Amino acid sequence: MKVPTRFTGSLLILCCSASAYAQDPAVCRTVRFADIGWTDIAATTALASTVFAGLGYQPTKTIASVPIALTGVKSKQIDVFLGDWRPAMDGVAQPFIKSGSIKVLSEPNLTGAKYTLAVPSYVYDAGLKSFADIAKFGDKLDYRIYGLGSGGAGNVLVQKMIDSNQFGLKDFKLVESSEAGMLVEVNRAVRSKKWVVFLGWDPHPMNIELKMNYLSGGDAVFGPNYGEAKVYSMVPPDYLTRCPNAGKFVTNLKFTPSLESEVMKSITRDKKEPNVAAREWLKRNPGILTEWLTGVKTFDGKDALPAMNAYLAGQ
């Protein structure tokens, strides 16, 4: 059908107006993140939150255990969780994923990570090189394996080994703690050259600050290649359609182990607040914003990259 000329301009205005207002609704302005207390998740959450703030959103963060974080995504009380470590978290996460109550983004936000048991290098050099060696040195280790917070995926895997007497670990006890608490114990052991076995992962400044080795032979528990992992982002099933602009940014997020370790080092060694460490890193490395902000607008529909650069310049 031919449109009368006198209506063409009006239609163009309506079209452009519709495009301009095809942004996230007001309810999407608040972006609620889950942080499980790991420094890598604190770093990536801070990076994403800083960018969201620069785009005119209002990011918030809830500190929670892994099961509570996943339950929060399921109930739509959490919008974004950037820390689905695979395969280590599969046992905890799969029930949520299989039921369709959580959506995992198709592309990982981090590759090249690893997550498995580790020991200080002096322990490794003395003969504890694999999972099969742990039980041999039970006395030296006080029959303890140091893990993270209660309910964490790594803890579940370790407890399962103990309960099933895998690798002869039935006499061992899992010591649950926060990431910081675990590392306090590890560093205390290192200072006195005491033997200790603990959950280790990369990216993390521990790989720089500690002389440590990852144990071999745990493929059946943590996965091959020393628990080689990919980290995925999780959102409620309808989030990408309900909040398409915010969802596009979350989908674009890609990190590297070196990137995360730099931000994490500022948090752990320099004692900076995660958002401060993230903002400083982004100021030093603004080029990454081009990739992260492709196809993304500010909350009010403006070009994202100039707005973000202005936001960082003003901080």
What pLDDT, on a 0 to 100 scale, did the predictor assign at position 229? 86
SS3 315: coil
pLDDT confidence of residue 315: 67
Residue 181 within any structural domain of the chain:
yes
Same domain as 205, residue 122: yes
100 and 120, same domain (yes or no): no
The domain boundary, picked from 193, 228, 263, lies at 228
d(CA 131, CA 126): 14
Does residue 21 sit within a domain?
no
**Token pair listed for 55:** 């785009």
Domain for residue 216, yes or no? Answer: yes
Q: How far is CA 128 from CA 6, 32, 111, 194, 242, in A?
A: 83, 43, 28, 13, 51
Residue 5 lies in a domain: no
Neighbours of 228 (CB within 10 A): 18
- The alpha carbon of residue 130 and the mean position of all alpha carbons in its chain are separated, in whole angstroms, by 27
CATH at 98: 3.40.190.10
**Residue 132 and residue 61 share a domain:** no
DSSP character string of 235-291 = E-TTHHHHSHHHHHHHHH----HHHHHHHHHHHHTS---HHHHHHHHHHH-TTHHHH
Residue range 15-48, pLDDT digits in tens: 443 344 358 999 999 999 999 988 899 999 999 9
The pLDDT value given to residue 88: 78
Examine residue 14 and state whether it is found in any structural domain, yes or no: no
Residue at a domain's end among 160, 193, 228: 228
- The reply to whether 133 falls in a domain is yes
Would residue 17 count as lying in a domain? Answer: no
Q: CA–CA separation, 115 vs 214, rounded Å?
A: 9
Cα distance between residue 218 and residue 145, in whole Å = 14
Instruction: State phi, psi for 68 to the nearest 5 degrees.
Output: -70, -40
Classify 66 as helix, strand or coil: helix
260: exposed, middle or buried (C-beta count within 10 Å: 0-12, 13-18, 19+)?
Answer: buried
3-state helix, strand, coil in the chain (%, to 5): 50, 20, 30
203 and 216 assigned to the same domain: yes
Q: Which two tokens stand for residue 176?
A: 């649950």
Distance CA 65, CA 179 (A): 12
Q: Are residues 154 and 286 part of one domain?
A: no
Residues in the chain: 315
Does the residue 15 lie in any domain? Answer: no
Helix (H, G, I), strand (E, B) or coil at 47: helix
Pairwise CA distance, residues 105 & 234, whole Å: 6
- Tell me which residue has tokens 């005119």: 56
End-to-end CA distance of the chain: 54
Beta bridge partner(s), residue 229: 113
d(CA 59, CA 4): 47
Q: Which residues contact 29 (CB under 8 A, 6 or more apart)?
A: 56, 57, 58, 299
Domain identity same for 263 and 306: yes
State how many domains the chain has.
Answer: 2
Q: Identify whether residues 108 and 235 lie together within a single domain.
A: yes
Of 228, 257, 291, the domain-final residue: 228
Question: What integer pLDDT is reported at residue 149 of this predicted model?
Answer: 83
Contact 62, 14 (CB under 8 A): no
Q: Which residue has the tokens 């495009």?
A: 19
54 and 182 part of one domain: no
CATH number assigned to the domain comprising residue 199:
3.40.190.100
Domain boundaries, position 240: 27-112+229-313
Residue 281 shares a structural domain with residue 132: no
Query: Same domain, yes or no, for 41 and 174?
Result: no
121/261 same-domain check: no
102, 173: one domain = no
**What is the residue-averaged pLDDT of the chain?**
91
Output the pLDDT for position 308: 97
One pLDDT digit (tens) per residue for the chain, 315 residues: 444 444 344 444 444 433 443 589 999 999 999 999 888 999 999 999 999 999 999 999 999 999 999 999 999 999 999 999 888 788 899 999 999 999 999 999 999 888 999 999 999 999 999 999 999 999 999 999 999 988 788 999 999 999 999 999 999 999 999 888 999 999 999 999 999 999 999 888 898 889 999 999 999 999 899 988 899 999 999 999 999 999 999 999 999 988 998 999 999 889 999 999 999 999 999 999 999 999 999 999 999 999 999 999 986
